[in-house]
Amino acid sequence: MKAELPHDLVRTLLAVVDEGTFDAAAAALHVTPSAVSQRIKALEQRTGRVLLTRSRPVKPTESGQVVVRYARQLDRLEGDALDALGMPGEGEDAGASGPSWLPIAVNADSLATWFVPALAPLARDARIHVDLRREDEAHTTAMLRAGEVMAAVTSTPQPVAGCSVQRLGAMVFLPVATPQFIARWLDGDAAQLLPDAPVVCFDRRDELQDAFARELTGGRGASPRRHYVPSSEGFADAVAAGLGWGLVPRSQAEPRLRSGELVRFLPRRTVEVPLYWQQWRLDSPALAAVATAVAAEAARALR
């Protein structure tokens, strides 16, 4: 007998992963927490594998990620089929198609600069809804593998299994600081002084400033005197406040360069981070519409 994964069970697993707890999933599915628990146990018995770690929030195991990807693809394909047939989605009026929810992982700098304008063409189609998840561009592919998102802006050119990849261009970052900061910390051979000058980093996984300093000094990273500011806009504000030097996206840096608030202390140096669009290989009109809009804006905004 062919093994099967009943749709109601895999959708319950997806709800638990998306909502984070059994109780929240039960509320979203309009069933009792006991029913959710029984469905998850039944699915684990069918697969012969543990699919969830019972943490708060719950997390899919490696086997659970496989089922989550399947559940999300199933949900997307059903939504596209209902839309093509003009059938109502859950909770919608008769004759109206339900919304197409598309979870997408985007790095903070893209989100703060060019990515949101890329979505403007989608405003004409009220059925397409995006669920943006912010993550560093070096780590967004992990969300694709886990089935958490259907598409991602990433710095990884190697396609995730089951995904297609398209180069978008490169984000250009400029090494900048305030004139006062440069006079105090970088007056002289700025390249060699960087490892001792306070620096602003996005978070503890941000390697951009350290890699830049290592390239210039032959091995020494940025200074341990550092500030972590996990917001693209806040990062630029922190550099403008004189907390440290930093690599700021060109589109954010240029207005402050024109005003004299910031200065390029190594004017011939830039850092380019190549970006790629990876998405599941699904014949989905909604996903294709987003991909087209993103590629068009990237061609305008990125190098």
Say what the pLDDT of residue 93 is. Answer: 39
- Does the pLDDT of residue 35 top 50, yes or no? yes
- Classified as helix, coil or strand, 15 is helix
* pLDDT band (50, 70, 90) for residue 97: very low
Indicate the CATH number for domain 100-303. 3.40.190.290
Among 2-11, 25-34, 43-52, the range scoring the smallest mean pLDDT is: 2-11
Residue, of 5 and 301, whose pLDDT is higher: 301
Answer for the pair 182, 265: CB distance below 8 angstroms, yes or no: yes
* pLDDT band (50, 70, 90) for residue 89: low
Phi, psi at 216, each rounded to 5° = -80, -35
- Does the pLDDT of residue 203 top 90, yes or no? yes
Strands 100-106 and 128-134: parallel
- Does the pLDDT of residue 159 top 60, yes or no? yes
Query: Is it true that 1-98 and 100-303 share their CATH fold?
Result: no
pLDDT tens-place string over residues 249-296: 999 999 999 999 999 999 999 999 999 999 988 888 889 999 999 999
Say what the pLDDT of residue 94 is. Answer: 36
To the nearest 10 degrees (0 to 180), the angle between helices 232-240 and 250-259 is 30
What average pLDDT does this structure show over 206-234? Answer: 95
Say what the pLDDT of residue 55 is. Answer: 83
Residue 37: CB atoms within 10 A of its CB come to 15
* pLDDT band (50, 70, 90) for residue 128: confident
The amino acid present at 166, given as its one-letter code, is Q
Highest mean pLDDT out of 4-18, 36-50, 66-80, 229-243? 229-243
Highest mean pLDDT out of 60-69, 70-79, 85-94? 60-69
What value does the mean pLDDT of the chain take?
90
Say what the pLDDT of residue 91 is. Answer: 44
User: Could you tell me the residue ranges of all domains in the chain?
Assistant: 1-98, 100-303
* pLDDT band (50, 70, 90) for residue 302: very high
The conformation of residue 277, written as its DSSP 8-state character, comes to: E
Say what the pLDDT of residue 127 is. Answer: 78
Residues 6+ apart with CB under 8 A from 19: 25, 27, 28
Say what the pLDDT of residue 92 is. Answer: 40
Fold of 1-98: Arc Repressor Mutant, subunit A (1.10.10)
- Does the pLDDT of residue 202 top 90, yes or no? yes
